[in-house]
Structures are given as C-alpha cells and as structure tokens.
Amino acid sequence: MTTITICTTCRAEATREDRESPPTGEAFLRAVMEAAGATPLRVRGVACLMGCNHGCNAAISAPDKMTYVLGRFDGNATDARALVDYALLHAESSGGIVPFRQWPAGVKGHFIARVPPLDDEAG
C-alpha cells in the first residue's frame, strides 16, 4: 500500500515566518485526505520531515518501492489533487518509479529527493 505522509508543521513560503496562524501543513493534510477519498492510498500526518525551508513537504512511500520526497507546495486543493494523482501512479508502478511522461503537471518541479528501498540490493 502506498502511503502519503504530510508534514503537518510545514508553512508555505508566503507564511514561513508567521507563528500566529496554524501551520499550512494542517490544511494540506485535510486537503490530501479529501482528495484521496475512497482510493486505496493511506494518508498520515507527521510533525516535520526536516525540510522546513522548502515546505510544504510530503513523502510518498510503499514497501519495496522507491520513496519520494516532494516539497514547495502551497498546500491547497490543487496541490493535494496532484499529489494524490501521483501517489496513485506510484501505487500502480513497479518499484515506485513513475515515468516522467505520466507525472501530473502539479508535481513537476516539486521533487526534493528519492530514497531506494532498504532491501534493494541491485541499486
């Protein structure tokens, strides 16, 4: 099962220094949960993925598949839809690698890192 992990403490660039309002990541988590709806995706929130300077951040992961970290999202419904669409492709893919031509436009330019699965001896 592919899991979307949303950083709930992230602040989008426009409000990065704002310590009064709730973190953007809280709203992003709600938007992603709504966009994921009845899909087989799992959605969870965690506090800080240690990429605070390029929030909002998220990770897409699944057992035995490549993990991807994405950031620089505004945390709105459009971002949520793009992230969910990408996660569905990740779920369908072999090894978590989605061909570039299939990437939803909304995730392009948002990739931060990828991490191979721990048991990947070929990579």
- CB closer to ligand FES, 32 vs 91: 32
Q: What CA–CA distance (Å, rounded) separates 11 from 16?
A: 5
Binding mask 77-116 for ligand FES (x = CB under 6 A): ----------------------------------------
Task: Report if residue 51 touches ligand FES, rule: CB under 6 A.
Answer: yes
Q: What CA–CA distance (Å, rounded) separates 106 from 123?
A: 28
Q: Find out whether 87 and 72 touch, Cβ atoms under 8 Å.
A: no
**Of these, 2, 5, 6, 9, which contacts ligand FES (CB under 6 A)?**
9
Q: What CA–CA distance (Å, rounded) separates 6 from 83?
A: 10
Task: Report if residue 55 touches ligand FES, rule: CB under 6 A.
Answer: yes
- 10: its two tokens: 């992230």
Q: Rounded to the nearest whole angstrom, what is the least distance from the CB of residue 77 to ligand FES in the complex?
A: 19
- 90: its two tokens: 């990740």
Residues that bind ligand FES (CB under 6 A): 7, 9-10, 25, 48-52, 55, 57
